[in-house]
Amino acid sequence: MADEKIVAVVKEALEKAPERKFSESVELAMNLKDVDLSNPKNRLTEEIILPHGRGKNITVALFATPEMKVKAEGVVDIIFSPEEISNMKDEKLETKKKVSEIDFFLAEAPLMAQVGKNLGVILGPRGKMPRPVPPGSDPTMIVSGLRKTVKIRTKDRRTFHVAVGTRGMDPEQIAENIEAIVNRVRTKLERGLMNVHSAYVKTTMGPAIKLELR
């Protein structure tokens, strides 16, 4: 069961947001305090599987050998061959555009070094370096998890936003997604929720509604 206070905030955020002609995302914004983010070890870099997913299509790409490609077809959205990796390095503008449209990358383990050498400068700063997939394995379970996953990367900023669902989802489901994020963040901060200055829930273009976490 979702926390009733969180459900109430989600409902208020949905009710106060004007209707749009597209499916808006619902976001959680958190503002940290008393955290020295100039020190990289204090920064948050988390991948969190949401109990009810993001309510939208998530694009997953895979760098794969021909053997892995056979297993991955119909499981991932885009498959890049080893030969395409060097071509992507040479076509930086086109590659940057592709990368921006892909949420998560996977790479067959033997290709990780090649991907890092050729595309690390593009994927790394965007937090999209691929996770390895063992040769010959079935990537279905990994991909299934990624389609429900959101990323938190604070870098040196004390405020971060993370998608917790879409407007068409049930408020209770969105609230449970929020709880999953709050619980993870709490465990990663030295003083738990005492290091959170404030939190808000909003749709993409709607007003921010304050969420009391303590």
Choose the final residue of a domain: 123, 146, 169. 146
Claim to verify: residue 80 and residue 183 sit in the same structural domain: no
Range of the domain at 135: 60-146
- φ and ψ of 55, to 5 deg: 75, 15
Total tally of structural domains belonging to the chain: 2
Nearest to 148 by CA among 58, 17, 29, 15: 58
Angle, in degrees to the nearest 10, between helices 4-16 and 171-188: 120
Claim to verify: residue 75 and residue 15 sit in the same structural domain: no
Q: What is the CATH number of the domain that holds 123?
A: 3.40.50.790
Claim to verify: residue 166 and residue 139 sit in the same structural domain: no
Q: What is the CATH number of the domain that holds 178?
A: 3.30.190.20
pTM value? 0.86
Longest CA span, the chain: 53
Looking at residue 18, what is its pLDDT?
A: 87
Looking at residue 144, what is its pLDDT?
A: 94
Pairing of strands 196-203, 209-210: antiparallel
Choose the final residue of a domain: 146, 176, 202. 146
Claim to verify: residue 28 and residue 12 sit in the same structural domain: yes
pLDDT tens track of the chain, all 214 residues?
A: 778 999 999 999 999 998 887 888 999 999 999 999 999 999 999 999 999 999 989 999 999 999 999 999 999 999 999 999 989 998 989 999 999 999 999 999 999 999 999 999 999 999 899 999 999 899 999 999 999 999 999 988 999 999 999 999 999 999 999 999 999 999 999 999 999 999 999 999 899 999 998 7
Claim to verify: residue 35 and residue 75 sit in the same structural domain: no
CA–CA dist 82, 63 (Å, integer)? 7
Looking at residue 151, what is its pLDDT?
A: 92
Choose the final residue of a domain: 107, 124, 146. 146
Claim to verify: residue 160 and residue 137 sit in the same structural domain: no
Claim to verify: residue 141 and residue 155 sit in the same structural domain: no
Looking at residue 176, what is its pLDDT?
A: 98
Looking at residue 143, what is its pLDDT?
A: 95
Looking at residue 23, what is its pLDDT?
A: 81
Claim to verify: residue 73 and residue 177 sit in the same structural domain: no
Query: Exposed e or buried b for every residue in 42-73, given b needs 16+ CB within 10 A?
Result: bbbebebebebbbbeebebbbbbeeebeebbe
